[in-house]
Chains A and B, each alone.
Chain A
Amino acid sequence: MADLANLRLTSEEIDRMAHDLDEILTHMDKLDELDTSEVEPMAQVLFEAGETASLRPDVEHVPLGTDVALANAPLKGAGHFKVPKVIER
């Protein structure tokens, strides 16, 4: 699971995490008491609005420039973010 989450954990962290998640997931099992077969899932708080209410006018606006967007990058060059090698074999 830590690999899936892209988190490097120490062995102490893994022990603690296993204990905590076990306890929390046991509490989550409480939801099984409810029959929700006839209930729609709620992904978002929604209100009555026209179909296009969330669209902005189709007008050009100036985005952040490349230099500004890169300003917080730990490593950059030639207008790009730089990362270690991607192909690992």
Chain B
Amino acid sequence: MNLTELTITSIREGLRTKQFSASELATEALRFADAENPKTNALLMTSPERALAAARRVDDAIARGEELGALAGVPVAVKDVIVTKDLRTTCGSKLLEHYIPPYNATAVDRLEAAGGVIIGKANCDEFAMGSSNENSAYGPVRNPVDPQRVPGGSSGGSAASVAQGTSVVALGSDTGGSVRQPASFCGVVGVTPTYGRVSRYGLVAFASSLDHIGPFARNVRDAATLLQIIAGKDLADSTSAPAPVPDYTALLDGNVKGMRIGLPKEYFKGLASETGDLIAAGADKLRRLGCEITEISMPHTEYAIAAYYIIATAEASSNLARYDGVRYTTRSANSDTLSNMYRNTRGEGFGAECKRRIMLGTYVLSAGYYDAYYLKAQRVRSLITRDFTQAFERVDAIIAPVSPFPAFRLGEKTSDPLEMYLSDIYTITGSLAGIPCMSVPCGNTAAGLPVGMQILTRHFDEPGMFRLAHAFEQG
């Protein structure tokens, strides 16, 4: 078996025809991870006991002739902001270095119930805050395509792990592009479903009105299969959507004839030329497949970064208030009083980017500034959402770049936080609107760096998004 090429489909076939057992696959995946992970630092830890136990359950089910779950035997990496019962979950933060969650995230429960084999926890930017995976307290992740470059962020470890072969599919989380951008940088498929499509129970909160769990995979079908398993109403998350989950893979029929695709003109200004050329070539390919391509306008795009970084940091400053030295493992040793304990624990524990965002969020929520920043940003969020609603009256899907440029070098953008924020422009708009969006590989630059194309559709139209992405991938 070649771990870098396995898919959910090929693993199923391999198990069925007894080319390998789930235990053999898990053992080989763990060996491969131990050997290869030091090159990228994509996994913070492997979980051999848990993986081998899950694989044994699959082999026992095969021996008993039982129907297999959709993820039977599939090695999965889980981003370390998603809690796993009894398995250390650090959120990429020094503050949670010793945190052992007492429960599983709903998405984790569901993927394990479907036979998924959790191989390990994936590195990420601290509390999912970053666009390059350089904000992890446990060291940056290197892009498997070019180790001098970043894998993107914040789910950089999940993307790099799937690209490198230390997992076959992975869970990430996306608040402003943290699944799509690393998928684009590492040349894999990454999906941000409709807000509420996947339960957030057990996803450590960054910005609750924007947080999503989303899948990474090597192809569109695998991403659709994984989403199918983790999607659906969950009583533990009141914002999870009650709408029934369609059979995503049954709809991958390649028929996109007559599908109306919009290209937002605002998204192609100031784009690195190679990225722009690859997306334009992608649009041509869709035209050849029978889609109708039209130019559309999303006039509020230029305000998205400002609105997003106000809303997201405001919510983050509130959500991260809980790391105060009382409940979550780490407490500053030099604390004579309660208020000093709060301040010292947080000052010593959080990294620079988390502190920056907590400060910014505290500022925009503080008395006298609330209306001017936070409320204003929420009104602009309505305008950006309205841009999408109006566009989707004319088109069935929108295609766009994921990032203005391909993977950049480690250290290249760390000195200027605003410049790093501005690079999130194409992914943030869909996040604010809460619509489904994904990155699908769209070719490489001359230097061999992957570029992803983003597909965005109406709320709950994951079927349309997957159908288009699958036709594009196969075409």
Q: Could you tell me which residues of chain B, from 372 to 409, have a CB within 8 Å of some CB in chain A?
A: 373, 375-383, 385
Q: Are A88 and B337 in contact (CB under 8 A)?
A: yes
Pick the contact of B459: A44, A47, A53, A84 (CB < 8 A). Answer: A47
A51 contacts B by Cβ under 8 Å: no
| Category for how many chain A residues contact B | 35 or more
Chain B residues with Cβ below 8 Å from A25 are: 360, 363
Pick the contact of B342: A6, A43, A71 (CB < 8 A). Answer: A6
Q: Could you tell me which residues of chain A, from 6 to 55, have a CB within 8 Å of some CB in chain B?
A: 6-9, 13, 16-17, 20-21, 23-25, 27-28, 30-34, 36, 39-45, 47, 49, 53-55
Pick the contact of A88: B329, B339, B343, B355 (CB < 8 A). Answer: B339
A68 to B339, CA, bound (A): 26
Q: Are B209 and A39 in contact (CB under 8 A)?
A: no
B296 contacts A by Cβ under 8 Å: no
Chain A residues with Cβ below 8 Å from B338 are: 83-86, 88
Chain B residues with Cβ below 8 Å from A55 are: 238
Q: Are B346 and A54 in contact (CB under 8 A)?
A: no
The interface residues of chain B, by DSSP majority, are classed as helix
Given known A7-B343, A68-B102, contact A28–B382 (CB-CB < 8 A):
no
Chain A residues with Cβ below 8 Å from B102 are: 64, 68-69, 71-72
Binding stretch for chain A, among B63-71, B267-275, B276-284, B306-314:
B306-314
Q: Are A5 and B358 in contact (CB under 8 A)?
A: yes
Q: Are B342 and A21 in contact (CB under 8 A)?
A: no
Binary contact track B338-361/A, C-beta < 8 Å → 1, others 0: 111111101110101001101110
User: Within the complex, what minimum Cβ distance (angstroms) separates A1 from chain B?
Assistant: 6
A4 contacts B by Cβ under 8 Å: yes
Q: Are B310 and A21 in contact (CB under 8 A)?
A: no
Closest 10 CB pairs of A and B: A8-B347, A45-B434, A41-B378, A36-B379, A74-B331, A45-B195, A8-B343, A5-B362, A54-B238, A56-B235
- B binding-site residues for A, Cβ under 8 Å: 98-100, 102-103, 195-196, 209, 235, 238-239, 241-243, 300, 302-303, 305-307, 309-310, 317, 321, 324-331, 335-344, 346-348, 350, 352, 355-356, 358-360, 362-364, 366, 373, 375-383, 385, 417-418, 421, 433-434, 459-460
